Amino acid sequence: MNNPETVGFSALVIILLLVLFYGGTFLVSTKIGQKNENADGYMTAGNKIGFGISAASMTATWIWASSMYASASSGYTYGISGPIHYGLWGALMILFIYPFGKRIRKVAPKAHTLAEVMHARHGRSSQLMLAGSNVVGSVISLMSNFIAGGVLISMLSPFNFIQGVLAVAGGVLLYTLWSGFRASVLTDFMQVMAMLGAVAIIVPFIFFAAGFPAAFETGAGNLTAQQSNFFSSDAFLNQGAPYIAAVLAYAIGNQTIAQRLFAVREDLIKPTFITATIGYGAMVIGVGMLGVLALYLGFEPTGGDQNNIIPEMAMSYLPGILLALFFIMIIGALSSTADSDLAALSSIMMADVYGQNVAGKKKANPKTMLLVGRMTMIVATVVAVCLASLQLNILDLLVFVGALWGALVFPVLASFYWKKVTNKAFTTAVLVALVVFIPVRFELIPMTGFTAVIIELLAILGIGIVLGLMSFGFFGLRVAIIVGTMATLVAAPFCFGFLRDYTTLSASLVAYSVSTLICYFMSFRSKMDFDFSVIAERAGDFDPVEEIVVSATKGAARSNDSNNSERNE
């Protein structure tokens, strides 16, 4: 079918919309700014954010422009089950974080980054390994959001792609630089409320404007047998299964998620993550159905680029006022994640690089930390803008980074529960897993004969490990072992000779299995008997004022211990 006539905006309208959105968020950020800003507040807002803002911020951070575009692309490629696989598994990964999150906060109640906790648990190499992976992931995420903003603005207005990227980058940096993480979470609340309202109005409007439900009857012939099958194996193997593995890794290794975990009040972790699960699933699946509608309509995105599906569907079927609302929705989605990436990068450089490895915890100057954090945001924005100009393939990069983080999942989680895990085991497990992952992912080794059998064996073990880890958080070690073992045994007869055809999935699972096997076998005979209580002492506040407040609340009965801890910090 020929795409209907599209509409756009003049340069003046786009400028007004951008000023309205980013000007409003900047004004909000100035209201919460503090004249005498402190480093801990800049990174985690005092570890006491309430339920509403925390849940909205988690939802907004997990939803970004690329996730909306990818969900629609999945619907366009795989049919009705595509957005389900994309949105459902992503939502469940948020849910699976909270039991692990409760444990992490218990052992490190005042930490700022997961890498900082790894420094307290193992040492410098493990810390920098986790911090480095997050720097790479957050820069790629920041870049992808700038790309999405640049493409959107160039499609809807006379401005070109680079001008659009600069507008979005400047707007996000403007309000995030002022108050750091506090600005990110508060504006996230505003942005997610706007996104929810926009989705509730825009998606049904496009459906009915495009001729729903008749379009699903007349356009059924545009679908293949797999696309019309709700239980499509194509959709599961190419979209669902790789996404389960990648998103679990994102959930455990991503600093933007960990930062919110450390910021929310400890007693509100469970309701926060459950609410975010529902909000994310509903919004992303709903937007993804636009891709399914485009498939039924025979809609052809410009240049065959499926990232154009949502913007072009909006331009084709929405009147001016709703198109403006759509523009705000997408800008809000990408900005909510971009500001989270800036806050995450600043925290890593403040706590992990300067606070732990340059100055040292005892000598770190909070004012210098703030300067480091703000300079990090500026440098990261410049780097991301430069990378965005290359217009790299966003989804391939994201899946790649997610799979890389798969090598970290077991060593990180085991380090919070098992006293025997050593720094050597952690580091070796991650490095060897990456060495195996990369040639498998990029097909640098032949997937035939004995090599293919070994790779498939490791991937099948990876299936059991992923499902076992998910079970462990909720039901404990015994259930996790049973689930993992049963999943491996059930999958084996079906996966041998089969998984080798699905490189992305196989590589992700291999990263899990190799890191798990090496970490376990290097640790189970070790004499390490780590005392988890020392993590709270080693990973805590940097600002002396905050330490005094914390000490004062512990009561006279513990004053001596508090003072000793304060002097150590």
pLDDT digits (tens, 9 = 90+) for 250-270: 777 788 888 888 889 988 999
pLDDT at position 396 is 64
State CA 157 to chain mean position distance.
30
Spell out the residues 6+ positions from residue 58 whose beta carbon is closer than 8 angstroms to its own: 94, 257, 260, 272, 273, 275, 276
In this structure, is residue 4 part of a structural domain?
A: no
Q: 322 with 449, same domain?
A: no
In this structure, is residue 536 part of a structural domain?
A: no
CA distance 290 to 203: 7
Residue 71 contacts residue 235 (beta carbons within 8 Å): no
Handedness of CA 563, 352, 171, 324 (dihedral sign): negative
Instruction: State how many domains the chain has.
Output: 2
Q: Which amino acid is at 217?
A: E
Residue 365 contacts residue 371 (beta carbons within 8 Å): no
Spell out the residues 6+ positions from residue 415 whose beta carbon is closer than 8 angstroms to its own: 118, 121, 122, 126, 421, 426
Tokens standing for 451?
A: 């090599």
Residue 91 contacts residue 281 (beta carbons within 8 Å): yes
Show which of 340, 374, 391 is a domain's final residue.
391
Query: What are the distances in angstroms from CA 399 to CA 107, 415, 508?
Result: 30, 25, 9
pLDDT at position 403 is 63
CA distance 257 to 113: 10
pLDDT at position 32 is 67
Q: 489 with 371, same domain?
A: no
- What 3-state class would DSSP assign to 437? helix
Residue 322 contacts residue 7 (beta carbons within 8 Å): no
Residue 150 contacts residue 164 (beta carbons within 8 Å): yes
Spans of the chain, pLDDT less than 70: 1-7, 32-37, 391-404, 543-569
pLDDT at position 466 is 92
Q: 162 with 238, same domain?
A: yes
In the block, which residue shows the tokens 């994310």?
Answer: 280
User: Which domain, by its residues, includes 483?
Assistant: 418-529
Q: 462 with 317, same domain?
A: no
Q: 50 with 191, same domain?
A: yes
Residues in the chain: 569
In this structure, is residue 399 part of a structural domain?
A: no
Q: 87 with 228, same domain?
A: yes
pLDDT at position 35 is 54
Show which of 330, 356, 391 is a domain's final residue.
391
Residue 145 contacts residue 168 (beta carbons within 8 Å): yes
Q: 339 with 274, same domain?
A: yes
What is 470-514 written as a DSSP string?
HHHHHH-HHHHHHHHHHHHHHHHHHHTTTGGG-HHHHHHHHHHHH
What secondary structure letter does DSSP report for 223?
S
Q: 181 with 315, same domain?
A: yes
In this structure, is residue 360 part of a structural domain?
A: yes
In this structure, is residue 313 part of a structural domain?
A: yes
Tokens standing for 207?
A: 């459906």
Q: 128 with 270, same domain?
A: yes
Q: 231 with 93, same domain?
A: yes
Burial 336-359 (b: 16+ CB within 10 A, else e): bbbbbbbbbbbbbbbbbbbbbeeb
Residue 86 belongs to domain with CATH number: 1.20.1730.10
CA distance 277 to 95: 6
Q: 276 with 355, same domain?
A: yes
- Which run of H or of E encompasses 211? none
CA distance 380 to 376: 6
Q: How many CB atoms lie within 10 A of CB 5?
A: 7
pLDDT at position 395 is 56
In this structure, is residue 539 part of a structural domain?
A: no
In this structure, is residue 410 part of a structural domain?
A: no
Q: How many CB atoms lie within 10 A of CB 163?
A: 16
In this structure, is residue 552 part of a structural domain?
A: no
Q: 386 with 464, same domain?
A: no
Show which of 342, 374, 391 is a domain's final residue.
391
Q: Which amino acid is at 275?
A: T
Q: What number of helices (H) and strands (E) belong to the chain?
A: 25, 0
Residue 269 contacts residue 58 (beta carbons within 8 Å): no
Q: Quote the pTM value.
A: 0.84
